[in-house]
Structure 1
Amino acid sequence: MKQVPQWDDLLGSARKSAVHLETRDSYAVDYETGTFADWRAGHRLDPADRESWWRPWLTLISETVARGVAVRRARIVSEPVSEYTRFLYDGTFTNIAAGEQIRWLPRRQASDIALPGNDFWLIDGQLIRWNHFTGDGASGGGEISEDPAAATLCAEAFEVVWERATPHNQYEIR
């Protein structure tokens, strides 16, 4: 198995595109501490206070986009959305500020799409970083693949999802 590169190396290798498909309704939820717990307690990020929410991930995305790489993220979500999805939705403006394009697809509209079994990042249509998760949403580690058939599956699935999905600024939480 190939070594899983750090995020800055992975996105740093992108020349044209980096696409990310998310298919879970929650990821590593900590109800007691952290940003999700703060959000549940009523804290909301202030778009005007960039210093309070800009973090290394957003800098990496911004630098990637500045190099001319299109960074797109599609989220397949159950409706009505989970509390965690609502939390993601509320914070998505930060990703958009960094230059990501984000769309949302209700799960019912994805039933006839051949989807990979795991979330993934696909770099330049060739390099896949599979994201594995445990049943409760914790990270189960990553895996790298350059298998052409898997890359084709990911690319085709992502494009179908992207075409059907609603841009973030038009998607209404249900």
Structure 2
Amino acid sequence: MPSSVPTWDELLGSAQRSAVHWEMRDSYAVDYETGPFADWRAGVRLAPEDREAWWRPWHSLITETVARGVVVRRVRIVSEPVSEYTHFLYDGTFKNIIAGEQVRWLPRRQASDIALPGNDGWLIDGRLVRWNHFTGDGASAGGEISEDPAAAKLCAEAFEAAWARAIPHENYKIR
């Protein structure tokens, strides 16, 4: 196992074919008083055509990754009705899509018989796992890299099973 966690630029820069990401939390630690989530709660909605208002280095990284021929897919496994935070993510998913990601949503009830990993994460080219650890309150507890073939196989199978059942963003209606 590598001793350090690569930066996002290094991780996605190493992808040659695919980068898949699964998210399974209904909320992540965010500032409820200031920042994008607070703005959204106050009624601010970003317009897709106003890229200057929302384009971030992350979107540039995804666009560069996809331009190299890497397929970037994200599946969000969510409880329904969705949490306020998930609604916020849903409203902002247009940014991921414009950057080049494919995004699908899977209601948690439809994932009960899928052997999902215990943590959110990324799988790069079916071989390298980046686990995203979180505290109980949703704050980042750091990342971890694994090149264990069994872990990569579990993640690949779980992701593909979830992806096959998940609803493309443009067809998913939050409730």
Relative to the length of structure 1, the TM-score reads 0.99
2:3, 2:25 → 1: CA distance? Answer: 25
CA offsets 1:75-123 (integer angstroms, 9 cap, x no match): 0000000000000000000000000000000000000000110001000
Alignment of 1:13-92 (within 5 A): 13-92=14-93
Amino acid at match of 1:101: Q
The alignment partner of 2:40 has SS state of helix
Who is 1:134 aligned against? 135
2:4, 2:26 → 1: CA distance? Answer: 28
% of aligned pairs identical?
Answer: 80
1:28 deviation in Å? 1.2
2:25, 2:17 → 1: CA distance? Answer: 26
5+ residue gaps, structure 1: none
2:153, 2:64 → 1: CA distance? Answer: 27
CA contact (8 A) 1:2 1:145 kept: no
Who is 1:116 aligned against? 117
CA offsets 1:51-93 (integer angstroms, 9 cap, x no match): 1111100000000000000000000000000000000000000
Who is 2:97 aligned against? 96
Who is 1:145 aligned against? 146
Amino acid at match of 2:70: V
5+ residue gaps, structure 2: none
Q: Which 4+ runs in 1 deviate beyond 4 A?
A: none
1:57, 1:32 → 2: CA distance? Answer: 23
The alignment partner of 1:19 has SS state of strand
Amino acid at match of 1:106: P
1:13 deviation in Å? 0.1
Amino acid at match of 1:4: V
1:14 deviation in Å? 0.0
CA contact (8 A) 1:36 1:87 kept: yes
When the two chains are superposed, the root-mean-square deviation of aligned CA atoms in Å is 0.6
1:48 deviation in Å? 1.2
1:37, 1:11 → 2: CA distance? Answer: 29
The alignment partner of 2:97 has SS state of helix
